[in-house]
Amino acid sequence: GDSVTQMEGPVTLSEEAFLTINCTYTATGYPSLFWYVQYPGEGLQLLLKATKADDKGSNKGFEATYRKETTSFHLEKGSVQVSDSAVYFCATTDSWGKFQFGAGTQVVVTP
- The least distance separating other proteins from the CB of residue 75, rounded to whole angstroms, comes to 14
Q: Which is nearer to other proteins, 73 or 93 (CB)?
A: 93
97 phi-psi bin (left φ>0, alpha ψ -120 to 50, beta other): left
| Among 23, 93, 107, 109, interactor with other proteins by CB under 8 A | 93
Task: Work out the number of other CB atoms within 10 angstroms of the CB of residue 37.
Answer: 21
17 vs 68 by CB, closer to other proteins: 68
Judging by DSSP bridges, how do beta strands 11-14 and 105-110 pair with one another? parallel
By CB under 8 A, tell whether 53 contacts other proteins.
Answer: no
The SS3 call for residue 67 is: strand
Q: Which residues contact other proteins by CB under 8 A? A: 4, 32, 34, 36, 41-46, 49, 51, 89, 91, 93, 96-99, 101-104
